[in-house]
Amino acid sequence: MPGNASGKIMPTGHEVTALEAKLIERFEYMNAIGVSLSGEHNIDRLLENILVVAKSITCADGGTLYRVHDDRKMLKFAIVRTDSMNIAYGGMTGNEVPSIFKDIHLYTEDGRPNDSLVAAYAAVRAETVNIADVYSDTNFDFSGTHAFDKATGYHSQSFLTVPMKNHEDEVIGILQLLNAIDPETGAVRVFSINDQRLVESLASQAAVALDNRLLIKQMEELFESFINVINTAIDEKSPYTGRHCQHVPVLTMMLADAVDAESDGPFADFRMCDQDRYELRIASLLHDCGKVTTPVHVVDKATKLQTIFDRIHLLNTRFEILRRDAEIETLKAVLAGANPEEEELRLKKKLQQIDSDRAFLRYVNIGRELMPREDQERVRKISRQYRWKNEDGKDVDFLSEDEIENLCIRSGTLTQAEREIMNYHIISTIKMLQAMPWPKRLGHVIEFAGGHHERIDGRGYPKGLTGDQMSVQARIMMIADIFEAMTARDRPYKKLMKLSEVLRLLSNLSRNGHIDPDLFDIFIKRKVYLDYAQRYLDPSQIDA
């Protein structure tokens, strides 16, 4: 059959009859539908389209699409439609299939095929069943259909039941059409042999499309499970970061949805489809995967002197030695003839000074926002003021250089070297993600995930990107990451922050070039912070 100038297939040797033209049109429609089905990513919409198309090409009044359950012992109702009764369940309707549509067992209790029910027969035998009138048919049990008709006043007549077989010739679903309507008379007719062949062709295409979609979905679920394994590993490694890995994706998507809803302003044209949302969610789930390489003693460093243990206890021991030595020195002086009262007074003052210095070092060992310079100088003075013998028996300063460096940390609990180790997690994240063969539809994951420590003014890391060099998604994740870290209840070095204090600090960051001020405005205007806080923060943090 050569094609004509319009590209349509035309028979040779005779004029095209009305019936032939209609068949040609239906086949062309089927080809278009096949392309459409193969491109559909939403499984519910895909199932709905399959049934709607099957009804359309056969002029059927009603139809049902069953899915074969994973255990291959049951047919489950996925979509139900009957136009004349205005029935629409499943698919994209938002209406769940009612319980009156019970699942169909494919086998009897003794393990034999359930051949009494037409849908089960078609699924087990992988055969199409075309019935002219269910009231005269004696091969199958249509008592349920009769009861439905009696209860509703409907009259079921012609049935076409077609198995959906995938590329492995495995039945994964059943298409069942009800009451073919003659478009000219409106009367119920039998499903013709052409109807049957078209629906079988559609079922075959649909089964492959559905199987492919399910396979992709399973791969996506496997991939996300792998990501969750990584985040769980981080969680098990340190309780101080696990919730961060879980909560940043939630907050990222909440802010992204808020930006997507904007109809004016700088983000009026920003829109995300389902695929865009999936890509951003994957990136946010992976944004800190590099922390699996960060040493635990850095991640969990709750105090300035903490390594495997808190070294403040070593200083306590040294202070106890100083107290003991002072008391021994006093006793020796008294035994040598010194005035006991004067020596006792001198000892009391010395012990008070020792206890005061010990309390001070315990105080500064706790990481705080900013350590005054005078406190840093007092740490150095204490180190010079006292002497003790180290493990080699040498007379040394009271504090080592490493202890002084740690106790003089200006903000938080990490030294500069430790901060560089901590910051390296973003380099590790990028390296790990770059080692993966990302498909085109996830091509921006590395950029989204790798940019959450950049700054709008270009003073961030690792690349020093400016705001106009970054995507909206990366800038969104930047805010989500900072807000979650500030509000987290499980940080080792700080108490819970009130929501108002966090917003004040974020506002400062938006003004000084750290985060995107326009995105922060949306974060505030649409109350994303409050929605998140009510779901995930400690109630004591949510203040007026």
DSSP 8-state symbol, 357 = H
Q: Which class is domain 238-298+418-541?
A: mainly alpha
Q: Which CATH architecture has domain 18-216?
A: 2-Layer Sandwich (3.30)
Residue type, 3: G
In the numeric block, which tokens belong to residue 103?
């699942």
SS3 at position 374: helix
SS3 at position 313: helix
pLDDT tens across the length of the chain (544 residues): 334 333 344 444 456 676 666 666 666 666 666 666 666 667 788 888 888 888 988 999 999 999 998 888 999 999 999 999 999 998 888 888 888 888 999 999 999 999 999 999 999 999 999 999 999 999 999 999 999 999 999 999 999 999 999 888 889 999 999 999 998 899 999 999 989 998 998 888 888 888 888 888 888 888 888 888 887 777 677 666 557 888 999 999 999 999 999 999 999 999 999 899 999 999 999 998 888 888 877 877 888 888 878 899 999 999 999 999 999 999 999 999 989 999 999 999 999 999 999 999 999 998 877 889 999 999 999 999 998 877 777 888 899 999 999 999 988 888 888 888 888 888 999 999 999 999 898 999 999 999 999 999 999 989 999 999 999 999 999 999 999 988 886 555 567 789 999 999 999 999 999 999 999 999 999 999 999 999 999 888 988 7
pLDDT for 181 equals 96
pLDDT for 7 equals 39
What whole-number distance in Å separates Cα of residue 398 and Cα of residue 407? 13
The answer to whether residues 179 and 135 touch, using CB atoms and an 8 Å cutoff, is no
Residue whose token pair is 């003693």: 297
SS3 at position 147: helix
502: phi then psi, degrees, rounded to nearest 5: -60, -45
Within 408-471, residue ranges assigned H as helices are 416-434, 445-450
pLDDT for 6 equals 37
pLDDT for 299 equals 76
SS3 at position 458: coil
Beta bridge partners of 189: 180
Q: SS3 helix, strand, coil % of the chain, rounded to 5? A: 55, 10, 35
Equal fold, 18-216 vs 238-298+418-541: no
The answer to whether residues 522 and 262 touch, using CB atoms and an 8 Å cutoff, is yes
DSSP 8-state symbol, 462 = S
pLDDT for 45 equals 82
In the numeric block, which tokens belong to residue 322?
């100083």
Q: What b/e sequence results for 157-179 when a residue is b if at least 16 CB atoms lie within 10 Å of its CB, and e otherwise?
A: bbbbbbbbbbeeeebbbbbbbbb
Separate counts of helices (H) and strands (E) for the chain: 18, 10
List, in sequence order, every beta strand (DSSP E) within 125-254.
129-131, 159-165, 171-181, 188-189
pLDDT for 491 equals 53
| Per-domain boundaries in the chain | 18-216, 238-298+418-541, 312-413
Cis peptide before 462 (omega within 30 of 0): yes
pLDDT for 242 equals 55
What whole-number distance in Å separates Cα of residue 278 and Cα of residue 243? 21
pLDDT for 22 equals 64
In the numeric block, which tokens belong to residue 110?
């003794």
Give the pTM. 0.68
Report the interhelical angle of 517-525 vs 528-536 (nearest 10°). Answer: 60
